[in-house]
Amino acid sequence: MAYVRSRANPLLTTLPHFLTWRTFGFRTLCCGRLGFSTQSQLDPDPPVAGTKVLDVFKEEFEIGSRLITLETGKIARFANGAAVLGMGETKVLSTVTSTKGNTGHDFLPLTVDYQEKQFAQGLIPSTYMRREGAPKERELLCGRIIDRPIRPLFPAGFYHEVQVMASVLSSDGNQDPDVLAANAASAALMLSDIPWGGPIGVVRIGRIGGQFVVNPTMDELNLSDLNLMYACTRDKTLMIDVQALEISEKDLEAGLRLAHPEAVKYIEPQIRLAAKAGKSKKEYRLSMLSDSTLEKVRNMAEAPIEAVFTDPNYGKFERGEALDKITQDVRRVLEEECDEEGLKVLSKAVDTVRKKVVRRRIIAEGFRVDGRQLDEVRPLYCEARILPILHGSALFSRGDTQVLCTVTLGAPSDAQRLDSLVGPPTKRFMLHYSFPPFCTNEVGKRTALNRREVGHGTLAEKALLAVLPPEDDFPYTVRVNSEVMASDGSTSMATVCGGSMALMDAGIPVREHVAGVSVGLVTELDPISGEITDYRILTDILGLEDHLGDIDFKIAGTRKGVTAIQLDIKPAGIPLGIICECLEPARKARSQIIDYMNQEINAPHTQTDRNSPRLATLKYSNDALRNLIGPLGAVKTRIEEETGARMSVGDGTLTIIAKNQSVMDKVLEKIDLLVGREIEVGGIYKGVVTSVKEYGAFVEFNGGQQGLLHISELSHKPVSRVSDVVSIGQQLSLMCIGQDVRGNIKLSLKATLPRPQGMETNNAAEESVLDTKDTRNIWAPVGNEYTAQEEQHSSELATGKHEGDETKPSILIRSAAECDEEEKSLNQSSKRNLKSGNGSQLGRNSKSFWSHVHSTPSTSSHLAQDVIDSLSSLSIPFPHEKSKKSKPSVLNEAKAVTPKAMKLGTKVTANVDQIRAHGLVLDLGGGLRGMYRFEKDGQRDYEIGDKLRVVCSGFSSKGIPVMSSVDDE
């Protein structure tokens, strides 16, 4: 006995003494009983009013190095049976109740509800009502995990309504509560007065680094390649549920044989607890068929039923109609005889006769209903890309079972959000299975989430998840829809096959095909001991064989191994050895099915049709993405409404989903006008002329950026006036050909125009684009300290020209005053990133690599526009293609020398880059080049790559550092 002292109720203290419970000598309820207190009113030290007396019974045991507690008597004492199972700080309450009378059904109306409420982890639901809504998929799946092992253990003919409810009381996030709920439900049934053939044990097994782990934590499951749930009695298997990463049949069998003794450890504590606190089992009236009625029906129906089952020409519906006709014939005979008892159980009696006929033929003769051999797979048919306009689609048929699978790709933000107590917060791969009434030629009504549909869809989802590419390589959200078109057994395994083909049709880089097959079992029992004396394993079972057989063993996987399993058993358990024998026939059938699927499609398709949907991932700075979204998402919403595309914004990424290529082009054009895209040399951009000068025009393009269209880049022919070719407000398609020393982006119109016939290749725009592969940055000068002769020598060294080369005269494009005025307006808009053709990528909206360039005096403002100013060429994929992580820029890696760090007196170790007549071109690091003039006594012997210790002794007017040799010693 445990006495719990609590505070007296303040309301009771105000009542008259003669109205209180204590006056009458009553005590509170204990274990469902109401009795008088043993304390006398004359006792000098009576118990405090409101004292509760609780009979609490508790068992503690250890499984897989984890302490588990099982108790009853403290919570839910009015339930027929209640138990709380705890592991760590995770505690689950399971209760069981039943109706007192028979419901009139001819089956067991068992309901299992599993519920996870947010209070279990200290949270308030985020829904509008701040309440938990309808059962989530996870709750339905956990309910099925509990239902499947306990249902076979109810006695035959027990048709009273039974309800099992499991509720998570608290969760520490380390353990999945589903295993605890299943074991607690078994304990509650043992404590109740309901007839049940338990107890059972349920255990989870993982495998990390080849080593099996019993009851793994959630963190350990993330590292595991196996998630095995196993339920059993002392000597027989009841339920198996597996998700794996292509585990071999041999390793799977080893895991099953380890799981059985670990699960049995849950059984003995339940027996001890039931012995101390359980109720006596109540005598329930069982609805059993009488031997006389069964014999009468068998005599009338057995021969015609056997004739139907021995004719393999019958299809599913023809066979069903013939069997219904036999039932009606028997009904007419019973009506003539006025056999009321026989009429009540007619359907069940006929079904029993069918079951015996089919099982006897399979055991004795090895013949199946449709004439196949025991290990024979039904005829296959499959077709990929049956609906070309979709991302991916496939039709798969096996016998009369037919499934249509489609694939839809979405942005990362389309991932499903999960509110479960454990596990990941989102799910990027979803498979939704639908079983409409027409697939069985029935009339029905579509309702909300169906437990069977959720369970079948999750099984197929587990099977395909093992071959999906990692999220880093394929970040998109994937939804597979499985629509059952016709059902005659194993629709979930047909979904696996059709889904695998549809994924390849969608171009998703899955490693290989996944196929699934359902294996059945027919046993013969000893009538006295009930032990199995003979059995047959059936490959690829029909719906009728599923109904009349003993198990439905669904196994899916690749050629390498198993990815998902679901085992449902109808009798009260099957020996584990027989279950393991079923793995090999399933493997052979799976390989046969994969061979057939490979004939239709054996590699992921590429989307070449312009009408097929398109996806693109673009890289932008967060500032640019904020501009794209707009206030409260108004800009993004407007673009989606105008184009019909969908956009998803992440950290530095923009994912676009378009119906076809024309929609993608439209949305990309709008995005380019709003925020632009990364500029690359050779890229074509649309822009609008904003101003016209005598030396060229300024164009706004790529989301508000400014570029200079020089007069020499207007046409392949000489142009005398800019206004003759372009005007303010005119829209042009221009090519980016580089960037000058002041950060102005250089554009070319003639590079986008066809060259007139007979004209030689003398295109400065093309030359500058080609030169970017071999030239480095030339920084703007800090000052002008050298003579004209030295300036000429430095220019020759920097441009790679020497004596004998033909040099072009500089073009005076504007006066110093105009240049200064123009630069004031351009400094804010033109100092943007330029991504060259080979991977150097600079953030457009952050402080750019070009922002260190200083404004030059008026002398340098008169330089020709063809000064070498292109970046080092580093390739990056076109941003509208699949984005990958680019390698770090060479320019960003160089930290030894920067334009600001290069000052008079700066000493560096330089490499000889070029050898010219008047001196050397030195590589100073960081993309910076300098000039070293030979001494008066002539040229020394230098080689490309030699290292020199030099000091900066000045700058040319073009910003070229002039270096002199130095001896540190």
pLDDT digits (tens, 9 = 90+) for 350-368: 999 999 999 999 999 888 8
pLDDT at 9: 44
Whether residue 927 contacts residue 776, with contact meaning beta carbons closer than 8 Å, is answered with yes
pLDDT at 234 over 90: yes
Whether residue 659 contacts residue 604, with contact meaning beta carbons closer than 8 Å, is answered with no
CA distance 927 to 894: 8
CA distance 844 to 525: 77
- Work out the average pLDDT over 919-929: 81
pLDDT at 852: 33
Strand partners of residue 515:
557
User: Among positive and negative, which fits the CA dihedral 250, 255, 259, 261?
Assistant: positive
Nearest to 96 by CA among 162, 167, 181, 195: 162
Other CB atoms within a 10 A radius of the CB of residue 222 amount to 12
Residue with tokens 């540190």: 968
Read off the pLDDT band of 618 (50, 70, 90): confident
Whether residue 727 contacts residue 692, with contact meaning beta carbons closer than 8 Å, is answered with yes
Give residue-wise pLDDT tens across range 487-530: 998 999 999 999 999 999 999 999 899 999 999 999 999 888 88
Nearest to 880 by CA among 674, 672, 636, 703: 672
Strand partners of residue 205:
214, 228
List the Cα angle 699/702/708 in 5-degree steps: 25
Instruction: Look at 293-297, 487-491, 937-941 and tell me which has the smallest mean pLDDT.
Output: 937-941
- Residue 505, C-beta contacts closer than 8 angstroms, at least 6 positions apart: 384, 385, 392, 393, 394, 407, 601, 605
Joined tokens for residue 865: 């526009």
Read off the pLDDT band of 821 (50, 70, 90): low
pLDDT at 505: 93
> Kind and range of the H or E element at 273?
helix 267-277
Read off the pLDDT band of 740 (50, 70, 90): confident
Read off the pLDDT band of 142 (50, 70, 90): very high
> Kind and range of the H or E element at 619?
strand 614-619
CA distance 442 to 444: 6
Number of Cα atoms under 13 Å in the Cβ half of residue 297: 27
Nearest to 461 by CA among 885, 759, 137, 190: 137
**Whole-prediction pTM value?**
0.70
Read off the pLDDT band of 759 (50, 70, 90): low
* Angle at which helices 661-674 and 634-643 cross, to 10°: 150
- Work out the average pLDDT over 678-700: 86
Give residue-wise pLDDT tens across range 833-872: 333 333 333 333 333 333 333 333 333 333 233 333 332 3
CA distance 926 to 891: 5
Residue with tokens 């007196």: 905
pLDDT at 517: 97
List the Cα angle 601/604/608 in 5-degree steps: 105
pLDDT at 891 over 60: no
Percent of the residues in the chain that have a pLDDT greater than 90, as a whole number: 42
pLDDT at 80 over 70: yes
- Of 937 and 865, the structure prediction assigns the larger pLDDT to 937
Nearest to 654 by CA among 682, 680, 624: 624
> Kind and range of the H or E element at 455?
helix 451-465
Strand partners of residue 777:
928
Residue with tokens 């393999």: 312
Rounded to whole angstroms, what are the CA distances from 577 to 219, 257, 313, 568, 815? 32, 9, 35, 16, 95
Instruction: Look at 130-134, 707-711, 811-815 and tell me which has the smallest mean pLDDT.
Output: 811-815
Read off the pLDDT band of 659 (50, 70, 90): confident
Q: Are strands 928-933 and 961-965 parallel, antiparallel or unpaired?
A: parallel
Rounded to whole angstroms, what are the CA distances from 408 to 70, 232, 481, 613, 654? 46, 40, 8, 9, 18
The answer for 874, left when phi > 0, alpha when psi is -120 to 50, beta otherwise, is beta
- Of 312 and 772, the structure prediction assigns the larger pLDDT to 312
CA distance 494 to 439: 14
Residue with tokens 């500089």: 810
pLDDT at 716: 87
pLDDT at 38 over 60: no
CA distance 357 to 366: 13
For 48, counting Cβ atoms within 10 Å of its Cβ (0-12 exposed, 13-18 middle, 19+ buried), the class is exposed
CA distance 300 to 327: 10
Strand boundaries in 233-272, DSSP class E: 237-247
Strand partners of residue 697:
692, 709
**Segments in 385-450 forming alpha helices (H):** none
Q: Which long-range contacts (CB under 8 A, 24 or more apart) does 125-128 make?
A: 125/419, 126/419
Percent of the residues in the chain that have a pLDDT greater than 70, as a whole number: 77
Read off the pLDDT band of 897 (50, 70, 90): very low
Whether residue 436 contacts residue 526, with contact meaning beta carbons closer than 8 Å, is answered with no
**Segments in 528-660 forming alpha helices (H):** 543-548, 576-581, 583-600, 622-629, 634-643
pLDDT at 649 over 50: yes
Nearest to 190 by CA among 49, 320, 82, 90: 82
CA distance 483 to 469: 24
List the Cα angle 786/787/793 in 5-degree steps: 90
* Angle at which helices 291-309 and 346-365 cross, to 10°: 50
Question: 936-961 as b/e, with b when 16 or more CB fall inside 10 Å?
Answer: eeeeeeeeeeeebebbbbbbbbbbbb
CA distance 680 to 434: 48
Strand partners of residue 680:
835
Other CB atoms within a 10 A radius of the CB of residue 407 amount to 23
Cα–chain center distance at 508 = 13
- Residue 551, C-beta contacts closer than 8 angstroms, at least 6 positions apart: 519, 520, 521, 567, 568, 569, 570, 574, 579, 582
Helix (H, G, I), strand (E, B) or coil at 664: helix
Q: Give the total residue count for the chain.
A: 969
pLDDT at 147 over 70: yes
Give residue-wise pLDDT tens across range 94-119: 999 998 877 677 788 999 999 999 99
List the Cα angle 882/887/889 in 5-degree steps: 125
Nearest to 87 by CA among 179, 149, 198, 206: 179
pLDDT at 611: 64
List the Cα angle 39/45/46 in 5-degree steps: 35
Whether residue 722 contacts residue 694, with contact meaning beta carbons closer than 8 Å, is answered with yes
Rounded to whole angstroms, what are the CA distances from 896 to 54, 891, 900? 78, 11, 11
Residue with tokens 């592969």: 773
CA distance 610 to 608: 6
* Angle at which helices 491-505 and 583-600 cross, to 10°: 40
Cα–chain center distance at 255 = 27
- Residue 937, C-beta contacts closer than 8 angstroms, at least 6 positions apart: none
